[in-house]
Amino acid sequence: MAAEAAHIVDRPVAAAILRAALELGYTPLQARIIAGRLSDVDLANLPELLNLQLSGLTPPDLLPDIDIASECIVSAIKQGSPILLISDFDADGASAHAVLKFAFRDYFGVPEARIHSYIGHRLRDGYGVTESLTDRILAEAPRPALIITADQGSTDHERIARLRDHGFTVIVTDHHGVPADGPPTAAMACVNPVREDSAFPDPYIAGVHVAWLLCCAVRRRLIQDGDLPASAPKLGGLLDLVALGTMADCVDLARSTNNKAIIARGLAIMNAPVARPAWQALYVATNCRGPITAATLAFSFAPVINARGRLDSALGSVDLLMSDSVPVAEGLALHFVEHNTERKAVQSNMLQRSAKQAAQQVRDGAAAITIFDPEGHAGVHGICAARLAESFGRPVAYFSPKAEGQHITASLRTVHGFHVRDALAEIAGRYPDDFVAWGGHAGAGGVTLKRDGLQRFAEAWASIAAAALRDQRAGPEIVTDGPLEVAPSFAVVEELAALEPFGRQWEPPVFRSHGRIEQVRPVGDGRHLKLVVKMDATDYDAIWFGAVENGVCPVGVGQTVLMAYELDVNTFRDTTTLQLRIRHVALVSEGGCTQ
């Protein structure tokens, strides 16, 4: 897809972090991996950043408005008020919705009939507390009532004011950026760790984590007021849901003092002998093998949960996560896998169309890419933007028309060194009349524009990127941890596994090496390759997913290549073998290609 060949580059290693990691007892290889993902400015917090114990989690006390929010919720619980939950339609939002509903129903004793669930439809409503979602709530929800948002609401003052004026009290829980003029004043509370006045030390947590922390504060308040016994169950049993949302939302795992510990604990719950029916169902539906890992969440479970919200109502995702019946969960999971298959077909068509636009913009010297796809599906914008950003090494905004025809909507993804929300804020400041809605954070965002604002947006998007990235080489890169200085082995796999869970900014180790292609054959649907690669006189099995594009095999027997790879294990028919997972190959010598 890329208009330029990807370059294999090595991560810089932070010398002070390397020394400190060795002093903490990490092996030289582990210390090198750690020092490639942190910088010397992280030195003071290094032990906390590497801690996977729940005792190191940041308590909710420092979140802004947490006392106001918990007091308001406790009052609503005691008074028997209806409680409305409103969440985003992605996996983070669905997980947060499930956490809140589980907590209120199973931990705080709120009858399920008093809990009302609302999730905006991605295509009909769009992101956030939109006008159409607000209209629906005003038309059918009981009032007066308490509304709690999850993973959204920080930029929705006008709609929240409408709800307030019609008898609703609104508490916002969110982790997205807050407007320059502050959080929505119409809300009773805005619990968001990225607020300018926030004292919470970890701005990288996901929306589901914020919702969970709020529930922890409510539990404590109920105990203080004598409405729950001191022995009331803690909310740690919900951390599997928090782990899913955290991995799915691609939040920073490197500089967060909480995220890796949350995921590690969540995975332990998922892999317990008696796991939540949702995990059992998703495990079977996605053909998983071995233990559930962070990669399982990111690449198997989360896409299936997200697919539901991309193509249909995300309330079904909450139903799956909250199901107490394995057969029911299995039926839902299989249905969502079908949605995910449909999503993949839509995505493939969109990428084929948009890659031509992107390639032309790159040839024209654009520092950032703006796609307008008249046939695009808004539910797949984000995935396509991410794939294009990876393939072309530039920030991407992917637009399509909204159904009502007057506006266009986009998802935005970025590359290292370019902050999406800051760019959106600057463009909105230049052309406020073009913007209908926008929001996001460093790595991703969304925007709805008036149709005639597209060209102004594209020019500003490219110019801001050109300034921000002027000192970086443009184009796709494959970042590695350099050569592996010992032979690949199960022992090395185990040594690296001690640094899990891996995820965004704390990526799994990737090494580079020269090798010779000894065998190559297509597997699966023909797009994947099974290889034997000789490195240092030893043959290694390897797998390269998605290697074949347009029927063209990129390598052949006898070729010498420079490759980037991960160490992996493959279990098949109860036999576990070591294999290399190829990430990228660059030819060193020409040779024939065989399939």
More confident residue, 20 or 550: 20
Q: Look at the block and give the residue holding tokens 């990430």.
A: 583
- Maximum Cα–Cα distance across the chain: 77
**Burial of residue 116, with CB atoms counted within 10 A of its CB: 0-12 exposed, 13-18 middle, 19 or more buried:** middle
Answer left, alpha or beta for residue 74, where phi above 0 means left and psi between -120 and 50 means alpha.
alpha
334: pLDDT strictly greater than 80: yes
How far apart are the C-alpha atoms of 480 and 478, rounded to whole Å? Answer: 6
Q: What are the CA-CA distances from residue 130 to residues 3, 124, 136, 349, 520 (Å)?
A: 38, 10, 10, 29, 52
pLDDT tens readout for residues 426-474: 999 999 999 988 888 888 888 999 999 999 999 999 999 999 999 888 8
Q: What is the model's pLDDT at position 593?
A: 37
pLDDT tens readout for residues 187-227: 999 999 999 999 999 999 999 999 999 999 999 999 999 99
The DSSP element (H or E) to which 134 belongs, if any, is helix 131-140
Q: What is the model's pLDDT at position 595?
A: 31
Q: Which residues, 6+ apart, have CB-to-CB distance to 273 below 8 Å?
A: none
Q: What are the CA-CA distances from residue 420 to residues 52, 397, 465, 592 (Å)?
A: 30, 10, 10, 43
Contact 138, 163 (CB under 8 A): yes
pLDDT tens readout for residues 493-509: 999 999 999 999 999 99
pLDDT tens readout for residues 74-90: 999 999 999 999 998 88
Q: Confidence class of residue 247 from pLDDT cuts 50, 70 and 90?
A: very high
Q: What is the model's pLDDT at position 128?
A: 80
CA dihedral over 361, 249, 330, 323, signed as positive or negative:
negative
pLDDT tens readout for residues 131-141: 889 999 999 99
pTM reported for the whole predicted model: 0.90
Domains, the chain, in order of start with CATH, read 7-50+478-587 (2.40.50.460), 55-270 (3.90.1640.30), 365-468 (3.10.310.30)
How far apart are the C-alpha atoms of 335 and 329, rounded to whole Å? Answer: 10
Contact 561, 584 (CB under 8 A): no
521: pLDDT strictly greater than 90: yes
C-alpha angle with apex 278: 273 to 281, nearest 5 degrees? 85
How far apart are the C-alpha atoms of 49 and 257, rounded to whole Å? Answer: 5
Q: What is the model's pLDDT at position 3?
A: 54
Tokens of 507: 């990526």
Q: What are the CA-CA distances from residue 67 to residues 51, 156, 220, 347, 362 (Å)?
A: 28, 22, 11, 44, 50
